[in-house]
Amino acid sequence: MITQAYLEFVKKLLEIDKSDKILELYKYYLNKYDDFKRYSFIVGTNDKTGAVDNPLIRKYRHEPNQDTLYSIKNGLKETSQTMDLFTIDILNSYKYFMVLRSDFKEQFRTSLNITLDANVVSFIAKFIENNEIDTNVFRSKDDLLFFEPFIQDIFKDRIDDVNIFCYIAEILSHKQYDSDLKTDKLYSNIENLCKFKSLDLEYFNQTGILKYDVKNFKNMYGFFRNNLNNFEINIGFNYIYFYFILAIISKNSKDFDIKKSIKHIFDYMQENGTNFSELLEFILDYFEHGSNGFMNINERLKKINYEEAVKDIKNMCWDITYYYSMREVLNLNNSHVKEDFIFPIYITKDKKFTQNYIALFKNKIIVYKDNKFIGIARQESELTKRLMDYIGNPTKDFQREKISDLQEYKDKSEKLAQQANNLLKKIFTK
């Protein structure tokens, strides 16, 4: 049975460190199972032999023991403050990666997809706002404002694949609980981001003159402007928010029990057909320690009101949602005929979130079947083993496609988000 063979292969692969042994194991399974060629894998490794050593990807991804990727002047305020940027990618525990495909190509065409959190997006929007003098006319190269190394590198490396969909979904969601949100500012940021994504980086590197493709900009901005009212709020966020609130409620209850609480949340995930196994481990770490740096909310709940709690918790949940959105990028492969695969990286200013996820998760394998992303396998940590003692094997047992109807999935997510708010209110009405 090919499913069993796949599980067996992944289990063995997690135990291998040397690149030649990884390739040898893959060839063995290809020869043993005719159907195995439908599977392909991107495998993290610290052995450079036979690995993909793409200098562009290596430059922007988190290296072991690396702290800050960039420290940039805060162009959002007229101060001397700096904003530190950190990166997370799905294989952040490894220096290189191997691509296992049945065609055994030696070279793979890759593209880098950068997802930016709201703080970094605002910085880029501010860059355009402060440098565009007239339509498609910018300050001279020597006079560009906020021309930080981060912006310079994006220009130099011709990175135009900056993902802003998750940012728009986040900002639109703020309208539900932030009466001060100015829609005009959102439109302005989107306009500047579309200009940024339309910049002719090759022309700039050749001439030093900055301009954007006007037609491309108008098409992109027109799409967002015309469809903003119908823009889908990230459905996954509502589920993450609900599970996050359940964890906080459980942790602060008088009869809190780790095993019962984590099993309760897992059962909800099963019922909803949502596989957030990493979130589940993150919650277990929170249960065991009360605070894990990033999820440091218990003491703050005693000092803030309900509205402030909603805002704080949703901000934390958006970091997790951005991280999970990298999986959506992996499914874009079929629409990019020039590349063999896309490597997603999330850039954020939240140091605690970055540190927690890098410390907790040793993702090693990205798995595809018939060129479609189907999952991620990681090396078991002691935390993973404790979780499996409580709930069984989440990778094997999750009901991934229990809700197949998108509208039903959306409707349920909205109900759960409201249910989460009602649960949180109870903390403030005691």
The answer as to whether 56 is a domain residue is no
Check residue 83 and report its DSSP letter: E
DSSP class per residue in 347-379: EES-HHHHHHHHHH--EEEEEEETTEEEEEEE-
Contact 52, 96 (CB under 8 A): yes
Distance CA 375, CA 270 (A): 17
Token couple for 191: 């306009």
The answer as to whether 312 is a domain residue is yes
The answer as to whether 61 is a domain residue is no
Contact 127, 134 (CB under 8 A): no
Q: 157 and 269 in one domain? A: no
Distance CA 247, CA 290 (A): 11
Q: 152 and 290 in one domain? A: no
Q: 411 and 298 in one domain? A: yes
Question: Looking at 177, 209, 231, which one is the last position of a domain?
Answer: 231
Q: 254 and 275 in one domain? A: yes
Name 143's Cβ contacts closer than 8 Å, sequence gap at least 6.
Answer: none
Contact 345, 120 (CB under 8 A): no
Q: 295 and 412 in one domain? A: yes
Q: 302 and 156 in one domain? A: no
The answer as to whether 313 is a domain residue is yes
Give residue 298's pLDDT.
74
Q: 254 and 161 in one domain? A: no
pTM for the model = 0.84
Cα–Cα separations (whole angstroms), residue 365 to 196, 262, 347, 350, 375: 33, 26, 21, 25, 8
Give residue 278's pLDDT.
86
Q: 275 and 208 in one domain? A: no
Question: Looking at 197, 231, 265, which one is the last position of a domain?
Answer: 231
The answer as to whether 273 is a domain residue is yes
The answer as to whether 102 is a domain residue is no
Give residue 174's pLDDT.
66
The answer as to whether 363 is a domain residue is no
Q: 242 and 223 in one domain? A: no
Contact 52, 98 (CB under 8 A): yes
Name 88's Cβ contacts closer than 8 Å, sequence gap at least 6.
Answer: 62, 323, 345, 346, 348, 354, 357, 358
Domain count, the chain: 2
C-alpha closest to that of 346 among 323, 324, 375:
323
Q: How many CB atoms are located within 10 Å of the residue 218 CB?
A: 13
DSSP class per residue in 46-81: S--TT-B--HHHHHHSPPTT---SEEEE-TTSSSS-
Mind listing the pLDDT tens digit of every residue in the chain (430 residues)? 557 888 889 999 999 989 999 999 999 999 999 889 999 999 999 998 888 877 888 888 766 556 666 665 544 444 456 668 888 888 888 888 899 988 877 777 777 888 888 878 888 888 898 899 999 999 988 887 765 677 778 777 777 677 777 777 777 776 655 556 667 777 888 899 899 989 988 888 888 889 999 999 999 998 888 877 666 556 788 999 999 999 999 988 889 999 999 999 998 888 888 878 889 988 999 999 876 667 777 777 778 888 888 888 888 888 888 888 888 888 765 554 467 788 888 888 888 888 888 888 888 999 998 888 888 888 888 988 899 899 876 555 544 555 567 778 788 888 998 999 998 888 777 6
Q: 218 and 243 in one domain? A: no
Question: Looking at 231, 259, 274, which one is the last position of a domain?
Answer: 231
Q: 241 and 227 in one domain? A: no
Give residue 408's pLDDT.
80
Cα–Cα separations (whole angstroms), residue 232 to 168, 171, 304, 351, 417: 9, 12, 30, 28, 15
The answer as to whether 78 is a domain residue is no
Give residue 429's pLDDT.
72
> What is the residue range of 225's domain?
109-231
Q: 325 and 405 in one domain? A: yes
Give residue 391's pLDDT.
87
